[in-house]
Structure 1
Amino acid sequence: MSTLRVTVEELTVHEHPDADALELAQVGLYRAVVAKGAYRTGEFAVYIPEQAVLPEALIAELGLTGKLAGAAADRVKAIRLRGELSQGIVCRPRALSGVDLAGAHEAGADFAAELGIVKWVPPVPISMSGEVEPAGDLLPWIDVENLKRYPAAFPEGEPVAVTEKVHGTACCLTYHAGDDRVQVTSKGLGAQRLALVEDAGNLYWRAVRGHHLPRVAAELAGELGASRVGIYGEVYGDGVQDLGYGTDGRRDVPGYAAFDLAVEVGGAVRWLDPQELDRVLAGRLPVVPTLFSGPYGARRVMALAEGRETLSGRAVHLREGVVVRPLTGRYSPELGGRAIAKVVSGAYLTRKGGTEYE
């Protein structure tokens, strides 16, 4: 899940192809449906992204009472309006009426706290929860930002790998070579520096033991001279999320596909480049499918985010989206960290009955 920021953005306004009273306000590569004439290209407005939870007063002010997602009808979710995908809310809240919007945009100000907006945290099923313990020496997973919000993250033509984004739950393993110690956590718990105490009934530990991750991590530590190894993979299947890939996640060994790997060597942590990850995990662990490897093109990536999944080999349902990273890892000034971003498919965002457990 991306970082929640409520920012001021410069708009590009497009005609709605199928509604005379509506237009499309573009922020980055996102588009949000707005009333015709409410905004003009070059103007500034506040952008509230998906997965934001709004306070009741702001919902009423924006005329959205009863129209948002969730049991309390307070969560921003992608929808289709007259056939066009609308992601997020473009607005000018009264609470910010005295703010210099152009200046706030230039400064990159975040108004989430001022507007009482918080990030939605999905509920955690019993199979994914359990007893936890402090784990300050984890190698945690990171938040991956959406490419639509940061369209300049990759220059056209940069060599990249585009992998399929699998709809499961992120399982994060840290292996400590010094004392042969294994820590297992979820993305959400890992961010809190908490690890799950081993439990044979826990989904993450079933995946870790069933796919022999500790053995693989120990082998990699020896081969790469690493003091710590982090293996990050998606645990999936029916009973895990609403997209099961033809696998039953309730069985003893749920589906698993690795998507990233980090190693600490000489006190420095590095993420393996895509081709190195595929090479060192070949024959050891299932890996998420690579859909494309070559020069980056925004249109190509957006197209790859749509369609049917390839993980099962049978295209049993829609694709969640894609993840993009350079073939040679680097820092991204646009993202403020590692160069890696995701694109989520419109069909996935607007499906009915979806689950989003972390």
Structure 2
Amino acid sequence: MSTLRVTVEQVTIHEHPNADALELAQVGLYRAVVAKGVHRTGDFALYVPEQSVLPAELVAELGLTGKLAGSAGDRVKAIRLRGELSQGIVCRPRALDGADLARACAEGTDFASVLGIVKWVPPVPLSMSGEVEPAPDLLPWIDIENLKRYPEVFAEGEPVAVTEKVHGTACALTYRARDGLVRVTSKGLGAQRLALAEDPRNLYWRAVHGHAIAEVAAGIAGELGASRVGVFGEVFGAGVQDLAYGADSRRGEPAYAVFDVAVEVGGQVRWLAPEEMTKVLDGRLPVVPKLFSGPYDTRRVMELAEGRETVSGRAVHLREGVVVRPLGERYSAVVGGRAIAKVVSGAYLTRKGGTEYE
């Protein structure tokens, strides 16, 4: 998931092609359907992103009672309105009356806490949970921001790799070279520096043992002289999420694919560039499909995010989206960290009966 920030943005208004009373308000590369005439191009308005959970009072104030997702009708979710994808809410709540919106936009002020908006945390199935223990030495996975919110992360023409985003649950393994210690965790637990105690019933540990991930990490540590190695992969298949890619992870060896590797060498942690990751893995573990490698083009990336999946090799269902990263790892001032971003497909966001376990 992306980090939650509820900020004031300058909007661009577009005509809605299928509704006279509606318009499209653009924020970055996101578009949200709004009532016609409420906003004009150049106006400043609050942007509430997807996966935000709103307090009941704000839901009522915005006239959204009964229109949002979740059992309490309080979660912002992508929807299609008269055929157009609407992501997030563009509004001007009363709490911002009198505020200098232009200044708030320029300074990137986060209004989430002021408005009582929190990030939605998906439930955790029993197969993905377990006894936890403190693990300060973990190399945790990071939140990847959405390219539609931060379109300046990559420059047009910059060499990038685009990989398919697999709908599963992130399994993060840290190997410590000095004593062979292995830590296994999920994305959510890893952010809290908590690891899952070894348990043969746990989905993540089953993937680790089934694919000998710790042994591969030890090999990488030896090859690169690393004191710690982090291997980050997606566990997927039936029994994990609603998109299964023709795999069944309920018994035996769960389906698994690596999407990133980090190493600590000389006290410095770095992420392996795409080609280096492929080289050090040397076919020892499955990896997520690469869809494109070459000069960055916004339009092409948006097109690649849609369509059918390639994980199964049979296009059995829709594609979740894509992840973009430079061919040479670098820092991005736009997101304040590693230059990496995702795009999620409209079909995935608006599918029925989807699951979102971390």
TM-score interval, normalised by the smaller of the two chains:
over 0.9
The residue number in structure 2 matching 1:280 is 280
How much is the aligned-residue C-alpha RMSD, in angstroms? 0.4
Q: Cα offset for 1:281?
A: 1.4
2:199 alignment counterpart: 199
Gaps of 5+ in 1: none
Q: Secondary structure at the match of 1:32?
A: strand
Shift of residue 282, structure 1, vs aligned partner: 2.6
Q: Distance in 1 between matches of 2:168 and 2:54?
A: 26
2:67 maps to amino acid: K
Q: Secondary structure at the match of 1:299?
A: helix
State the distance in 1 between where 2:2 and 2:352 align: 21
- Matching residue of 1:229: 229
Per the alignment, residue 22 of structure 1 pairs with 22
Task: Tell me, in whole angstroms, the C-alpha distance in 1 between the residues paired with 2:86 and 2:240.
Answer: 27
**Residue 117 in structure 1 maps to residue 110 in structure 2:** no
- CA distance in 2: counterparts of 1:79 and 1:52, whole angstroms: 14
Instruction: Supply the AA of the counterpart residue of 1:82.
Output: R
**What is aligned with 1:255?**
255
Matches of 2:187 and 2:313, distance apart in 1: 27
Question: Are residues 1:271 and 2:275 paired?
Answer: no
Which residue in 2 is equivalent to 1:134? 134
Q: Distance in 1 between matches of 2:320 and 2:282?
A: 24
1:98 is the counterpart of 2:93: no
Query: Partner of 2:143 in structure 1?
Result: 143
- 1:21 counterpart letter in structure 2: A
Shift in Å, 1:83: 0.2
Q: Kindly state the Cα deviation for residue 334 of structure 1 after the two structures are TM-superposed.
A: 0.5
Partner Cα distance (1:281, 1:14) in 2: 47
Deviations 1:278-315 (A, max 9, x none): 12113200000000000000000000000000011011
Q: Distance in 2 between matches of 1:252 and 1:116?
A: 44
For the residue of structure 1 that corresponds to 2:143, the secondary structure is: coil
Q: Distance in 2 between matches of 1:270 and 1:55?
A: 39
**Runs of 4+ off more than 4 Å:** none
2:84 equivalent in structure 1: 84
Q: Which amino acid aligns with 2:255?
A: G
Partner SS for 1:243: coil
Q: Which runs of 5+ in 2 are unaligned?
A: none
Measure the CA separation in 2 of the matches of 1:215 and 1:116: 45
Q: Which region of structure 1 is more displaced relative to structure 2, 280-289 or 102-111?
A: 280-289
Secondary structure, counterpart of 1:252 in structure 2: coil
Q: Give the SS at the match of 1:185.
A: strand
**Counterpart residue identity of residue 38, structure 1:** V
Helix, strand or coil at the partner of 1:294: strand
Tell me what 2:173 maps to.
173
Aligned counterparts of 1:15 and 1:131: Cα–Cα separation in 2: 53
Matched residue count: 358
For 2:66 and 2:282, locate their aligned partners in 1 and report how far apart those are by CA, in whole Å.
Answer: 50
Partner of 1:297: 297
Match of 1:337 in 2: 337
Shifted more, 272-281 versus 40-49: the winner is 272-281
| Residue 62 (structure 2) aligns with | 62
User: What residue identity is the alignment partner of 1:235?
Assistant: V
Superposition TM-score, scaled by structure 2 size: 1.00
- Note the alpha carbon deviations across 1:27-74, whole angstroms, 9 max, x for none: 000000000000000000000000000000000000000110011110
Cα distance in 2, alignment partners of residues 355 and 73 from structure 1: 17
Give the secondary-structure state (helix, strand or coil) at the position aligned to 2:209.
Answer: helix
Q: Residue 262 of structure 1: SS of its match in structure 2?
A: strand
CA–CA distance in 2 between the matches of 1:347 and 1:279?
34
CA apart distance, 1:252: 1.5
Partner SS for 1:324: strand
Q: Give the whole-Å Cα distance in 2 for the aligned partners of 1:281 and 1:29.
A: 35
Q: Tell me which residue corresponds to 1:6.
A: 6
Q: What is the CA distance between 1:156 and its match in structure 2?
A: 0.1
Alignment partners' CA distance in 2, 1:89 and 1:286: 39
